[in-house]
C-alpha cells in the first residue's frame, strides 16, 4: 500500500531555497519499482530477502521528505554465468564477481543489469546482490556497493543498475547482515549525495549548498558521533554512536542519519526523476541500454512502435506512433504506417507520382494535401499525361495510341490500329475507326466502304481465283493482289 508522507519544508530559509524540491507545494510519493537480482552463497535466498526488506524500510524512512520514497520490490534469483562460486579456507562458498578494472565492471552492469524503462512511466531500477565484487583482481580490491551519480553531478557518468555485495572476504566472518543502511547509502549516490569525506564539485566549502561542510576533515568515519573502532578486517568503519548514511561507518547502535542539506538535495534529485505530473520517470533513470524493453513492434501495445534500430539508438522503448507531419525516419514511427520526405504522411498522401504505387498518380491538392489516385482509363477527362493509364493526355482526354480496332470507339485518328477516326476534330465527341479509301489501310489491305454505315473495314487483298465482286459492282480491281478483277460473269481475281 502506498503511504503519503508529509514533511516540514525549509524552503523559507533563503540560503537554502535552491535545495528545495521544485514541487514542494504538494506532498506526494516517489514510487520506485526495484528489481533485486540475488546470487549469494554465504546466505540463503530467504535470509537475503529478509535483510533487503529491512534495508528497504530504512531507506524509505530516511528519504521520507517530499517526494517520499516508496519502494515496490521484486525479488528474483540470478544465475548469470559471470557470477562464480569460490570457497574460502574454511570451506565456505561465496559468490564472486571479478573484473580487471572499473570499466569492465561498468560495462558488465551496462550490458546485463541496467535500469529499465519500457515507457516513460513504466520501468524499474535494478539492484544486483552478490557476496563479493572485486574491481581489480591484481590488488584484490573489493566493493560493498556501487551506484552512479546523476549526470549533473558527474557529467561523464552513465546511469546503470546498483550493485550490492554482502562483503564476504575469505577467512573472515561476515557481518554485513547487520548493515541495515547499505541500500540507503547506494540510493543516496543515485539521489546525488556524495560520501561525507568527498567534496561537492565547484561548491564553496563554506556554502550552505555543501552538504559535507559540517564534517570538516576528509577521513572516513568523519561523521561518527562517538568512538570509532576498527572492524573485523582492521578498517576504521564501526561507530559506537550515530553516523551519517553517506559515511563508511556502520553504526553499532543501528542509527544512521542524513542532515537537512542531504535530505533536501536528495529530494530535489528525486523530483528530477519525476514527470511534470509527479509520476516516476524511468527513462530519466535508465542507462545506456536500460531502455531496452522491446526488440520489435510486436512487443509494444497497439498504436506504439519499438525504437529498436531507429537512428542506431541502443535505448529500445515503446513509444506512441506519430501523427501526420511529425518528423520520422521509418514508417514504423507513424500511425499511418507511412514515412515520406522525413515526416509522417497519410497512407494515400504524395508529393510526386513516384510516391504512388503502380497504376496510380499523385493528384492535385485537396484539403491541403495531394493524394494518390487511380490512373484514368482511355477517354477520361485529364489535365496531364501522368494521370492516364496510357501515359497520354490529348486535348483533355486520356488517349492510347493504336488502341481501337476497326469499328471500335475512338476520338483521334492515331487511336485506330487501322483506318481513321470519324469523330470531329479535337475529340470533343466520340467516333468510330473507319476507312474511306485504301490508303487509310495498311499495305496489303483494301478499304471495304460498303453500301451502308455498318460495313466499313480494312480487309486483306484477295488471292487469284477469289471472288472480287458481283453484278452491279464496279471498280473492284483494288481488292486483288494482282490488281485485276475479271468482272462479268465470274468476278474473280486474276
Q: Cα(first)–Cα(last) distance of the chain, in Å?
A: 113
Query: pTM here?
Result: 0.56
pLDDT band with cut points at 50, 70 and 90 for residue 321 = very high
Express each pLDDT in 30-62 by its tens digit: 999 999 999 999 889 999 999 999 999 999 999
> Which residue matches cell numbers 524509505?
60
**Given a cut of 70, is residue 16 above it in pLDDT?**
no
Q: What percent of the chain has pLDDT over 90?
A: 29
pLDDT band with cut points at 50, 70 and 90 for residue 347 = confident
**Given a cut of 60, is residue 435 above it in pLDDT?**
yes
**Given a cut of 80, is residue 454 above it in pLDDT?**
no
Q: What is the mean pLDDT of residues 373-393?
A: 91
At residue 132, the pLDDT reads 86
Cis peptide before 239 (omega within 30 of 0): no
Amino acid at each position: 500500500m502506498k503511504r503519503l508522507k508529509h514533511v516540514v519544508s525549509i524552503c523559507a530559509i533563503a540560503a537554502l531555497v535552491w535545495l528545495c524540491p521544485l514541487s514542494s507545494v504538494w506532498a506526494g510519493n516517489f514510487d520506485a519499482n526495484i528489481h533485486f537480482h540475488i546470487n549469494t552463497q554465504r546466505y540463503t535466498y530467504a535470509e537475503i530477502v529478509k535483510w533487503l526488506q529491512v534495508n528497504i524500510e530504512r531507506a524509505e524512512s530516511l528519504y521520507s521528505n517530499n517526494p517520499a520514497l516508496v519502494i515496490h520490490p521484486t525479488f528474483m534469483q540470478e544465475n548469470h554465468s559471470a557470477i562464480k562460486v569460490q570457497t574460502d579456507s574454511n570451506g565456505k562458498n561465496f559468490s564472486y564477481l571479478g573484473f580487471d578494472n572499473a570499466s569492465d565492471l561498468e560495462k558488465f552492469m551496462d550490458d546485463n543489469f541496467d535500469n529499465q524503462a519500457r515507457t516513460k512511466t513504466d520501468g524499474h531500477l535494478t539492484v544486483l546482490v552478490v557476496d563479493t565484487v572485486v574491481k581489480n583482481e591484481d590488488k584484490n580490491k573489493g566493493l560493498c556497493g556501487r551506484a552512479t551519480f546523476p549526470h549533473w553531478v558527474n557529467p561523464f557518468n552513465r546511469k546503470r543498475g546498483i550493485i550490492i555485495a554482502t562483503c564476504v572476504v575469505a577467512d573472515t566472518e561476515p557481518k554485513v547482515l547487520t548493515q541495515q543502511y547499505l541500500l540507503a547509502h547506494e540510493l543516496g549516490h543515485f539521489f546525488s549525495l556524495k560520501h561525507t569525506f568527498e567534496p561537492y564539485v565547484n561548491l564553496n566549502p563554506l556554502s550552505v549548498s555543501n552538504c559535507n561542510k559540517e564534517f570538516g576533515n576528509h577521513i572516513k568515519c568523519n561523521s561518527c558521533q562517538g568512538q570509532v573502532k576498527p572492524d573485523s578486517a582492521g578498517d576504521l568503519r564501526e561507530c559506537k554512536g550515530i553516523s551519517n548514511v553517506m559515511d563508511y561507518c556502520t553504526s553499532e547502535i543501528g542509527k544512521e542519519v542524513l542532515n537537512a542539506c542531504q535530505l533536501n538535495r536528495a529530494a530535489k534529485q528525486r523530483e528530477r526523476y519525476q514527470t511534470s505530473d509527479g509520476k516516476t520517470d524511468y527513462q530519466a533513470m535508465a542507462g545506456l541500454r536500460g531502455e531496452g524493453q522491446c526488440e520489435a513492434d510486436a512487443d509494444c501495445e497497439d498504436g506504439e512502435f519499438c525504437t529498436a534500430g531507429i537512428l542506431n539508438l541502443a535505448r529500445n522503448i515503446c513509444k506512441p506512433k506519430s501523427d501526420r507531419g511529425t518528423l520520422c525516419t521509418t514508417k514504423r514511427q507513424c500511425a499511418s504506417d507511412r514515412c515520406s520526405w522525413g515526416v509522417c504522411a497519410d497512407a494515400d498522401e504524395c508529393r510526386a507520382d513516384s510516391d504512388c504505387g503502380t497504376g496510380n498518380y499523385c493528384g492535385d491538392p485537396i484539403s491541403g494535401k495531394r493524394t494518390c489516385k487511380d490512373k484514368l482509363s482511355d477517354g477520361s477527362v485529364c489535365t496531364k499525361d501522368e494521370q492516364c493509364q496510357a501515359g497520354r493526355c490529348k486535348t483533355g482526354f486520356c488517349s492510347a495510341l493504336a488502341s481501337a480496332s476497326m469499328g471500335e470507339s475512338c476520338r483521334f485518328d492515331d487511336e485506330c490500329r487501322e483506318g481513321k477516326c470519324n469523330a470531329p476534330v479535337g475529340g470533343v465527341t466520340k467516333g468510330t475507326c473507319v476507312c474511306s479509301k485504301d490508303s487509310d489501310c495498311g499495305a496489303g489491305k483494301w478499304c471495304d466502304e460498303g453500301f451502308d454505315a455498318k460495313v466499313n473495314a480494312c480487309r486483306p487483298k484477295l488471292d487469284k481465283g477469289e471472288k472480287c465482286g458481283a453484278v452491279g459492282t464496279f471498280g473492284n480491281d483494288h481488292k486483288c493482289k494482282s490488281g485485276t478483277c475479271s468482272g462479268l460473269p465470274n468476278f474473280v481475281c486474276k
